[in-house]
């Protein structure tokens, strides 16, 4: 819908700017912008109206459509007549709030407006969206069937009603098995939820623990690493696939915690462990690493022939990792050995979705490793 409106405005309004805003660069170019490009490629009339570049659509009438991430300094001074914000629930950082303020409709552009496309956020965390939501809710309801509200120049459609043909009982039954109750309420019922929640309940974890199972690094391993130099814990997790049970198996794990005045030495910890592991009766299939602070380790181990590659902690990556891990545990598709340090870290209370949006809170490294 946002892509259609962006193209409609671009065709009908010459010599102006349209800005598509998302929380990070990958989301900015991968959601609304990509959909707009796909629509152009499938419409011969639109193809003749514009030129499509990697980071911009240039209309023949002088209008441009540009995706940006939350870089408010680069957005200052624009002359946009339409600005589209995608998933503004994740705009919790100060820089994102400033971006929104920079992109208010400029008075020099006639009929300039903003479009926000999002679902509900987290109470006490998605402050920008919550303030807009409350403002709209305090206005006048303008339709008895649709959840439409008008408050001065703000128009808000905020629906909690499923209306699509694929939103049936079977679909929601599948989603309830994958998502935690709070996440189901937010993603499928558009309800505001609290961000403070236990990532993995002890009972769910315990159901996946196999008595007598021990660390075993033989076979084909997939390894995830999340590292920090000074404050957060550094964690490494190995998993392998058991074809007889169709389950993932926890093969091994390591946790390192830097001390005061003693920052992490990646060469003596992570690199030493991986080099030693390679010498055993083991086949390392893939090593995924958060590249932040790990560039030297990645290049060094790549030169040594290890299959290591970066796995940036972007919102899509961390959402995929977190939801996949939770689904595996909830459906008892992950066999675990008894490891109190691992269990306590994974089941700790933390703002897990905030970690996915803005970077991890302390001591939550293990909760983001196993799914990749």
DSSP string, 278-320: HTSSEEEEEEEE--TT-HHHHHHHHHTT--EEE----HHHHHH
Last residue of a domain, one of 118, 134, 159: 118
The distance in angstroms from the start CA to the end CA of the chain is 31
The dihedral sign for the CA sequence 277, 278, 282, 285: positive
Question: How many structural domains is the chain composed of?
Answer: 3
Work out the average pLDDT over 101-115. 88
Q: Please report which confidence band the pLDDT of residue 56 belongs to, taking 50, 70 and 90 as the band edges.
A: very high
In a domain, 86, yes or no: yes
Examine the domain organization and report whether 99 and 237 are in the same domain: no
> Which pLDDT belongs to residue 25?
55
Range of the domain at 186: 169-197
In a domain, 276, yes or no: yes
Examine the domain organization and report whether 221 and 184 are in the same domain: no
pLDDT exceeding 90 applies to what percent of the chain? 33
Span 72-95, pLDDT tens digits: 555 666 789 999 998 888 887 677
Local structure of residue 74 (DSSP, 8 states): H
Examine the domain organization and report whether 60 and 191 are in the same domain: no
Q: What are 273's two structure tokens?
A: 């462990």
> Which pLDDT belongs to residue 319?
76
Local structure of residue 88 (DSSP, 8 states): G
Examine the domain organization and report whether 191 and 215 are in the same domain: no
- Higher pLDDT residue, 346 or 332? 332
In a domain, 361, yes or no: yes
Examine the domain organization and report whether 213 and 317 are in the same domain: yes
Q: What are 107's two structure tokens?
A: 């008075």
CA–CA dist 84, 195 (Å, integer): 25
> Which pLDDT belongs to residue 29?
60
Reported pTM? 0.57
- E runs forming strands in 97-187: 113-117, 122-123, 140-141, 148-151, 154-157
Asked whether residue 353 carries a pLDDT value surpassing 50, the answer given is no
In a domain, 41, yes or no: yes
> Which pLDDT belongs to residue 116?
94
Report the CATH number at residue 56: 3.40.50.300
Span 132-180, pLDDT tens digits: 999 999 999 998 888 999 998 999 999 988 888 989 999 999 888 888 7
In a domain, 164, yes or no: no
CA–CA dist 32, 343 (Å, integer): 39
Comparing C-alpha atoms, which of 220, 308, 233, 218 is closest to residue 263? 233
> Which pLDDT belongs to residue 196?
56
> Which pLDDT belongs to residue 74?
58
In a domain, 221, yes or no: yes
Examine the domain organization and report whether 174 and 219 are in the same domain: no
164 Cβ neighbours under 8 A, 6+ residues apart: none
Asked whether residue 71 carries a pLDDT value surpassing 60, the answer given is no
Examine the domain organization and report whether 108 and 6 are in the same domain: yes
221 Cβ neighbours under 8 A, 6+ residues apart: 238, 239, 240, 251, 277, 282, 283, 284, 285
Asked whether residue 6 carries a pLDDT value surpassing 90, the answer given is yes
Examine the domain organization and report whether 254 and 334 are in the same domain: yes
């Amino acid at each position: 819908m946002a892509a259609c409106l962006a193209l409609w405005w671009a065709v009908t309004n010459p010599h102006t700017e349209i800005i598509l805003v998302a929380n990070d660069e990958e989301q900015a170019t991968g959601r609304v912008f990509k959909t707009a490009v796909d629509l152009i490629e499938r419409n011969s009339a639109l193809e003749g109206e514009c030129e499509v570049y990697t980071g911009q659509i240039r209309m023949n009438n002088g209008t441009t459509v540009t995706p940006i991430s939350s870089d408010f300094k680069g957005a200052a001074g624009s002359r946009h007549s339409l600005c589209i914000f995608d998933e503004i629930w994740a705009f919790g950082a100060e820089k994102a709030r400033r971006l929104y303020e920079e992109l208010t409709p400029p008075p020099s552009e006639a009929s300039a407006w903003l479009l926000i496309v999002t679902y509900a956020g987290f109470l006490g965390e998605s402050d920008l969206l919550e303030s807009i939501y409350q403002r709209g809710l305090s206005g006048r309801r303008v339709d008895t069937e649709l959840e439409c509200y008008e408050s001065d120049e703000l128009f808000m459609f905020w629906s909690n009603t499923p209306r699509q043909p694929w939103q049936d009982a079977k679909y929601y039954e599948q989603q309830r098995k994958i998502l935690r109750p709070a996440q189901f309420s937010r993603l499928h019922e558009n309800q505001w939820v609290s961000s403070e929640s236990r990532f993995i309940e002890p009972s769910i974890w315990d159901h996946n623990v196999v008595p007598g199972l021990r660390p075993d690094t033989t076979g084909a391993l997939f390894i995830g690493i999340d590292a920090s130099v000074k404050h957060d814990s550094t964690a490494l997790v190995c998993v392998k696939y058991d074809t007889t049970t169709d389950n993932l198996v926890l093969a091994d794990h390591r946790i390192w915690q830097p001390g005061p005045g003693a920052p992490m030495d990646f060469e003596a910890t992570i690199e030493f462990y991986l080099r030693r592991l390679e010498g055993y009766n083991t086949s390392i299939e893939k090593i995924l690493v958060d590249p932040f602070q790990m560039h030297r380790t990645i290049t060094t181990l790549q030169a040594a022939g290890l299959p290591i590659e970066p796995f940036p902690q972007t919102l899509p990556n961390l959402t995929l990792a977190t939801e996949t891990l939770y689904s595996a545990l909830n459906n008892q598709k992950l066999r675990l050995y008894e490891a109190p340090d691992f269990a306590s870290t994974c089941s700790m209370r933390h703002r897990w979705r905030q970690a996915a949006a803005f970077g991890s809170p302390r001591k939550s490294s293990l909760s983001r490793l196993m799914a990749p």
